[in-house]
Structure 1
Amino acid sequence: MTTTQDATPHPDLPAPGQGRDLLLPGAAGNLEVMLAAPRELAPRGIAVICHPHPLYGGAMSNKVTYTLAAIALKAGFYALRFNFRGVGRSEGAHDEGKGETEDTLLLVDWLRQRVPEHFPLMLAGFSFGGYVSVAAAARARPALQISVAPPFGGRFVYETRPLRPPCPWLVIHSRDDDTVAFDATAAALAAYEPPAELHAVDGAGHFFNGRLGDIQQAAADFIQRHLPAA
């Protein structure tokens, strides 16, 4: 990036505190995107957030996905949410995570081309989206990874080999999750070296109804510890 680009935001980026609805090219057609800019802090990073399973009603409007974007904005990151293939105005059809991972990487590249090179990337996602964002991490090389109730096996994923983001990684999961078993997540994470930081909560279920504050607190603390604001 040049000095001019560092000083002047790219015209594709929204103004401080604003959001922009976009249709951006994905591998199987256009993707519906919501890109927002932080209001209270000068932008210092970028975040791409992935939503839960599209075949079970998942979309970028999901409240956990929205919460993760709000956390990123508050930390000073541009926050990009998008609808997976076949959801909303996004074209194409569900691809069991493979195509969704490629689309995530395309959007990471699109965003990186519009911000200073030194801006760190945070990848985040909920449930199936947590899995997709972790699958993208090896190539995207994020500085931080946040996953809420990510599945590591069964009908929700296409890849059974261990996936480990090359960065500090926070996993938030409720012990009473009846969709993605907490014990299975804990067992999968125990095999990783270095291990992920597992933040367990009680009584939040899979969708954290009435408990979004647990996600906000854990994620904000995680970001501050690993990428403290200047």
Structure 2
Amino acid sequence: MPDVIYTGPDGRLEGRYHQSKEKNAPIALMLHPHPQAGGNMNNKVVFTLFHVFATRGFSVLRFNFRGVGRSQGTFDNGLGELSDAAASLDWLQSMNPDAKQCWVAGFSFGAWIGMQLLMRRPEIDGFISVAPPANSYDFAFLAPCPSSGLIVHGDRDEVVPAADIAKLVARLSQQKGITVDSRTVKGANHFFHDSLDKLAVEVDRYVTKSMTEQPKPEEKT
């Protein structure tokens, strides 16, 4: 799992990268929680997501937003961080120009950034959104949500009320052409303390199912 440094919109960005051994492997980008609340690419939830995708044969990148770790720049209230995510996806795609699928996964603040990235990058095939902060950030930009995905939430989340997650899921579920699944992990708080294994099971199950159901290139119309 080599350390990588690449050019972002406000200087260098620091990441950790796993290269799949499979030919034309799918790719996945991981996005960490709020930089000003201690969020970084080594967050346990982010690492869990990274490991699930790597185990499933993806080439995977997790990285530090600007101003975190060795990434240059300063916190930009989401605008700059979205640009960082776009630049990171560019780098990941440059390393895997023939990837058969593209996914994005984010936790908390990273989930909000990831959902915005969906709207800008039509090549993203699926998403994982863990504990999206639907109570503190506006998700109205998902009109419509362009990709199917999974929203995961802990039933003991002390940061994001279950009612706000339910409203977000209900709104997305009404949209045509996509399917947004949701899972509630029993006993899990916002950071999934002592519940990372349960989170991994839910995400792995969804990714595996989605990849199995994905039509082969020659079957697409």
* TM-score bin, normalised by smaller chain: 0.7 to 0.9
Q: Tell me the C-alpha RMSD between the 2 structures.
A: 1.9
Q: 1:92 pairs with 45, 67, 73, which one? A: 73
Query: Where does residue 4 of structure 1 map in the other structure?
Result: none
Q: Which runs of 5+ in 1 are unaligned?
A: 1-18
TM-aligned CA deviation for residue 42 of structure 1:
5.4
Q: Aligned partner of 1:34: which letter? A: R
Please list, as runs of the form range in 1=range in 2, the aligned pairs for 1:61-100 lying within 5 A after superposition: 61-100=42-81
Query: Where does residue 144 of structure 1 map in the other structure?
Result: 126
Kindly provide the CA deviation profile for residues 138-196 of structure 1, in whole angstroms up to 9, marking residues without a partner as x. Answer: 12231110011011242xx3x45232542221000012201122210111221121452
Kindly provide the CA deviation profile for residues 89-132 of structure 1, in whole angstroms up to 9, marking residues without a partner as x. Answer: 01111111111111111111121122143421110010101111
In structure 2, C-alpha distance between the alignment counterparts of 1:24 and 1:116, rounded to whole Å: 17
- Relative to 1, partners in 2 of residues 1:21 and 1:153: Cα closer, same or farther, differing over 3 Å? same
TM-aligned CA deviation for residue 55 of structure 1:
0.6
Query: Contact 1:153–1:160 (CA<8 Å) still a contact in 2?
Result: no
TM-score (norm 1): 0.84
Query: Where does residue 162 of structure 2 map in the other structure?
Result: 182
In structure 2, C-alpha distance between the alignment counterparts of 1:64 and 1:46, rounded to whole Å: 18
Query: Where does residue 30 of structure 1 map in the other structure?
Result: 12
Query: Contact 1:42–1:76 (CA<8 Å) still a contact in 2?
Result: no
- Relative to 1, partners in 2 of residues 1:220 and 1:117: Cα closer, same or farther, differing over 3 Å? same
Query: Contact 1:172–1:200 (CA<8 Å) still a contact in 2?
Result: yes
Q: 1:49 pairs with 30, 51, 55, which one? A: 30
In structure 1, C-alpha distance between the alignment counterparts of 2:134 and 2:141, rounded to whole Å: 8
- Relative to 1, partners in 2 of residues 1:73 and 1:118: Cα closer, same or farther, differing over 3 Å? closer
Runs (4+) of structure 1 exceeding 6 A deviation are none
User: Is 1:119 aligned to 2:115, yes or no?
Assistant: no
Q: Which runs of 5+ in 2 are unaligned?
A: 217-221
TM-aligned CA deviation for residue 199 of structure 1:
0.3
TM-aligned CA deviation for residue 73 of structure 1:
0.3
Q: Aligned partner of 1:151: which letter? A: P
Percent identical: 34
Q: Aligned partner of 2:149: which letter? A: W
